[in-house]
């Protein structure tokens, strides 16, 4: 039954994967708290945050509650990952557009997910630090798009946790993909 005015929520576990320093925690903080802090707080322990997003396109009550799992530095240890993304409905694989090495690492994570995660997982590729794109871009949008297309990913986009550009869109696209 639906209580009028109370959003009917779909829950989804969402995990972030990507090299250390690409801005995974900054993206989560921007989405959940709407802010960016220059101070890089290295994630300690398992960071878990929840946030709901209304999806008016799917009705006045429709909402998705994200259970967001941010890695706590274990991104270096591939062997820990399967535990981490077990039961995840979505994976946001992040690279830094100024770092080709981080893009290579993103390719690695996508392969890992294809091998070990649920076959229904929605994978989104995000090039972060778009604000640095004019002066320091080292990964082209074309390469990212080609990679996303070849791997049947739900979406490919660029964002900036610093400016906030494109951040809500990451989560919005994950939400929309749940109805597909």
Asked whether 172 and 53 are in contact (CB, 8 A), the reply is yes
- Does 134 contact ligand GDP by CB under 6 A? no
Length of the chain: 180
Q: Judged by CB under 5 A, which of 12, 27, 31, 43 binds Mg ion?
A: 43
Q: Judged by CB under 6 A, which of 99, 122, 160, 173 binds ligand GDP?
A: 160
Return d(Cα 132, Cα 107) in angstroms, integer: 21
Asked whether 72 and 43 are in contact (CB, 8 A), the reply is yes
Binders in 35-74 for ligand GDP, by CB under 6 A = 38, 40, 43
- Judged by CB under 6 A, which stretch of 21-29, 48-56, 83-91, 150-158 contacts ligand GDP? 21-29
Which among 132, 142, 135, 130 is positioned nearest to 170, based on CA atoms? 130
Asked whether 118 and 173 are in contact (CB, 8 A), the reply is no
Return d(Cα 119, Cα 91) in angstroms, integer: 12
Nearer to Mg ion, 7 or 18 (CB): 18
CB of 28 to ligand GDP, least distance (A): 8
Chain residues binding Mg ion by CB under 5 A are: 24-25, 43
Chain residues binding ligand GDP by CB under 6 A are: 18, 20-26, 38, 40, 43, 128-129, 131-132, 160-162
């Amino acid at each position: 039954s639906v209580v009028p005015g109370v959003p009917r929520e779909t829950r989804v576990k969402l995990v972030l994967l990507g090299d250390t320093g690409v801005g995974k925690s900054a993206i989560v903080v921007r989405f959940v708290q709407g802010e960016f802090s220059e101070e890089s707080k290295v994630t300690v322990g398992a960071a878990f945050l929840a946030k709901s997003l209304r999806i008016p396109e799917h009705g006045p009550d429709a909402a998705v509650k994200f259970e967001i799992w941010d890695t706590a530095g274990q991104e270096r240890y591939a062997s820990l990952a399967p535990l981490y993304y077990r039961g995840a409905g979505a994976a946001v694989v992040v690279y830094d557009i100024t770092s080709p090495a981080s893009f290579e690492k993103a390719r690695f994570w996508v392969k890992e997910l294809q091998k070990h995660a649920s076959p229904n997982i929605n994978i989104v590729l995000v090039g972060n630090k778009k604000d640095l794109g004019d002066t320091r871009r080292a990964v082209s949008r074309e390469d990212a798009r080609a990679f996303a297309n070849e791997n049947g990913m739900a979406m490919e986009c660029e964002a900036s946790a610093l400016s906030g550009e494109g951040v809500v869109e990451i989560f919005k696209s994950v939400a929309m993909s749940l109805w597909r």
